[in-house]
Amino acid sequence: MRLSDIKLGCSSRETNPLSLSPVQVIAIAGGKGGTGKTNIAVNLAQALANDGKRTLILDADLGMANVDVLLGLEPEHTLYDVMRGKCRLEEILLTGGDNLKVIPAASGIGQLANMGWQECAGLVRAFSDLKEPIDTLIVDTATGIAESVAVFCKAANEIIVVVCDEPASIRDCVSQLKHFYHDYGITRCRVLASKVDTASEANALFQNLIEHFSDNHSLQISYAGYIPADKNIRKAVVRHQTVINSFPRSPSAMAIKKLARRTMDWPQPECAGGHVEFFVERLIDKENIKMEVVS
């Protein structure tokens, strides 16, 4: 079955026979390219996996995928095969280490890069058929305001928007958040300052950003912390390893571990929101269990 054939509101399995627990889904987004999204996604996933969370990364930078490169993986099949109906999602799952799985995308394939709303929604629905026990899904999105980015962010429980202390990054971040809000009804996100030198620089960056939304009281933007500029990130990338495992005491690794611990305190998904969401069946099952207990 092609992704575009998976209809809204149905997966090939009607209910969740395994009664799997809800999954915390965190999308990593950012208006400008090169802010550090993919490195943050991969290292956050690694930190969570090292802490015992069963973690899955979806490389949702559909046209310019590089999660596999950062982790030194060589996928035989990718989301392109899933999109064409040649593989099921679980058949392209790769193991990135203990507690760490990866769904790879492809690089340089226009058809995948230009996936529209229906195909992206089909991909989100396809997650409902995964039998893997998963605690957290990290979604590394593409830069900017492509439809796929908004669909994946809307389908997540949490959105981390990555921003650098540069005018273009701040402006693109503001544009992305306005687009999310006005065109997709996304009303909540967390901002992570990336490649900054100090905590006060990160704080000032956050204050600068939220001033652009001082007249919008419906949009809830909170501060997720910061990742310092750190040469060890590049050193780890060159080794095809995570900075968390290669340089665990480095400033960036310490900051990402702190972020990972903070994410564990974020509210866990409780109930379905009525739109296209990852692992919605697991939420509906949880609601049904609650209702049975109450009645």
Ligand X SMILES: Nc1ncnc2c1ncn2[C@@H]1O[C@H](COP(=O)(O)OP(=O)(O)OP(=O)(O)O)[C@@H](O)[C@H]1O
Residue selected from 26, 27, 31, 36 as contacting ligand X according to rule CB under 6 A = 36
CA angle centred on 151, ends 145 and 157, rounded to 5°: 115
Residue selected from 37, 53, 154, 190 as contacting ligand X according to rule CB under 6 A = 37
Count the residues of the shown chain that bind Mg ion, applying the rule CB under 5 A.
Answer: 2
Residue selected from 79, 237, 253, 280 as contacting ligand X according to rule CB under 6 A = 237
Residues 175-194 touching ligand X, rule: CB under 6 A, are 194
Q: Which is nearer to ligand X, 63 or 75 (CB)?
A: 63
Q: How far apart are CA 84 and CA 79, in angstroms?
A: 9
Residues 84-143 touching ligand X, rule: CB under 6 A, are 143
The first and second tokens of residue 220, run together, are 């809830």
Partner whose footprint covers residue 35, from Mg ion, ligand X, none (CB < 5 to 8 Å by kind): ligand X
**Taking CB under 5 A as the rule, does residue 37 contact Mg ion?**
yes
Hey, which residues does 57 pair with through a beta bridge? 102, 138
Partner whose footprint covers residue 148, from ligand X, Mg ion, none (CB < 5 to 8 Å by kind): none
Q: Which is nearer to ligand X, 11 or 78 (CB)?
A: 78
**Taking CB under 5 A as the rule, does residue 53 contact Mg ion?**
no
Least Å distance between CB 38 and ligand X? 3
Burial of residue 137, with CB atoms counted within 10 A of its CB: 0-12 exposed, 13-18 middle, 19 or more buried: buried
| Stretch near Mg ion under the rule CB under 5 A, chosen from 36-44, 106-114, 233-241, 258-266 | 36-44
Question: Who's near 167: CB < 8 A, 6+ residues apart?
Answer: none
Cβ 259 vs Cβ 227: under 8 Å: yes
Q: How far apart are CA 155 and CA 236, in angstroms?
A: 31
From residue 28, how far is each of 11, 58, 77 by CA, in Å? 25, 10, 23
The DSSP line for 226-269 is EEE--HHHHHHHHTTS-HHHHSTTSHHHHHHHHHHHHHHHSPPP
**Taking CB under 6 A as the rule, does residue 148 contact ligand X?**
no
**Taking CB under 6 A as the rule, does residue 17 contact ligand X?**
no
Count the residues of the shown chain that bind ligand X, applying the rule CB under 6 A.
Answer: 19
Which residues are at the interface with ligand X (CB under 6 A)? 30, 33-39, 61, 143, 194-195, 227, 229-230, 233-234, 237, 252
Which residues are at the interface with Mg ion (CB under 5 A)? 37-38
